Amino acid sequence: MKNERLSLTFRLIEAYGLLALERAAVLEPRLAQEEEVLRFHHADYLAALRRSDSGNLFPSAYSYGLGTPDDPIFPGVFSWSLLVTGASLSAAEAIEGGGFDFAFNMAGGLHHAHPASAAGFCYINDPAVMIHDLVRRGRRVAYLDLDAHHGDGVQEAFYETDQVLTISLHESGLSLFPGTGFVHEIGRGKGEGYSVNLPFSPGTDDETFLWAFQEIVPPLLSSFAPDVLVTQLGIDAHRSDPLSNLSLSLQGFIEAVRKIRQMAGKWIALGGGGYNLNNVPRAWTLVWATMNDQELDPEIPQEFLETARGEGFSADGLWDPPVVKPESTEDHALRFAREQVEALKKTIFPLHGLRG
């Protein structure tokens, strides 16, 4: 989760000329206000996070998930978290009244933070805070999460409301943190049917992932008809990512993003996971290009490579080379995906007036 991922991505976007597009703009984010953050997080947790800003561990830190290997305390952690969240709020403001249809905060998407604790590299849950703000404005919001890890904190935030539809496509909790996101988690009370989870087994490739995506996501988004679509576009489902067991290629990931582009009206994209330094800059540069209907040269600009090579970036081109996977793994993953799709069509689709 080092911020080098973000600086490399920004520079690659810039090297491709995507910041100079006629209708594109780079907006300086603001700090989130504490009253905005408190729409999701508890006051005592926010006080603990503020105390962590000095970089010093304190006795009750662990009870808030702070000071762990996943969520270390470091100087400026509170200010940094407010800035990331403020960037997501700025993205929402850009599409609400700023004259933009799309916005991308690649630093955002920190979907594991809970109301009273940090978790999974996430301190403030910027998607939940931002969506709360959009709902407060009277918007119906759909949240679509492609990160390899289940978007548990965002699901938790809206589990009992029908104003937000959350859809998470992720590796099964049977094999990956946070151990949640099963098909039976469908919401509660007014929110029944508005939490949708599509888990995949280890080894799931592009073909299986995209088939399941197409079976579930377009019908639900069409039925729900959101005013705003928020996507979390973590690239840790990539086959070379060290923190998941899925097998997507960059081509498969971007094909899903293209499908989102076709469905989106007002669209806020957020970053998220991605722990291979070769993948994040390429993936999120392609996301920004897709949002702006741009095709990119597969040869990465030399001006970017001249500095990026010294910072650990070693990819040879914008796209992945083909890889042939063992047939037995593909068959198991496809069978598992079919079972999940069938279960969702039986339980979720009827609640939205859809036929399985």
Active-site residue set? 112
CA distance 266 to 97: 12
Q: Could you give the count of Cα atoms lying within 13 Å of 354 in the half-sphere of its Cβ? A: 21
Residue 182 backbone phi and psi in degrees, to 5: -90, 160
Grouping H, G, I as helix, E, B as strand and the rest as coil, residue 200 is strand
Q: How many other C-beta atoms lie within 10 A of the C-beta of residue 54?
A: 14
CA distance 37 to 311: 34
Evaluate whether 202 touches 117 at the Cβ level (below 8 Å). Answer: no
Contact partners, residue 33, CB within 8 Å, separation at least 6: none
Pairing mode, strands 141-145 and 228-232: parallel
Evaluate whether 36 touches 133 at the Cβ level (below 8 Å). Answer: yes
Structure tokens at 321: 């080379």
Closest C-alpha to 178, from 247, 242, 112, 235: 112
CA 79 to each of CA 34, 84, 123, 216, 240: distance values in angstroms, whole numbers, following the listed order: 11, 9, 11, 38, 32
Closest C-alpha to 229, from 237, 239, 238, 218: 218
The alpha helices in the chain, defined as continuous H runs, are 4-15, 34-37, 43-51, 77-97, 126-136, 152-157, 206-224, 250-263, 279-291, 302-308, 327-347
What DSSP letter does each residue of 277-297 carry, written as one string? TTHHHHHHHHHHHHHTT----
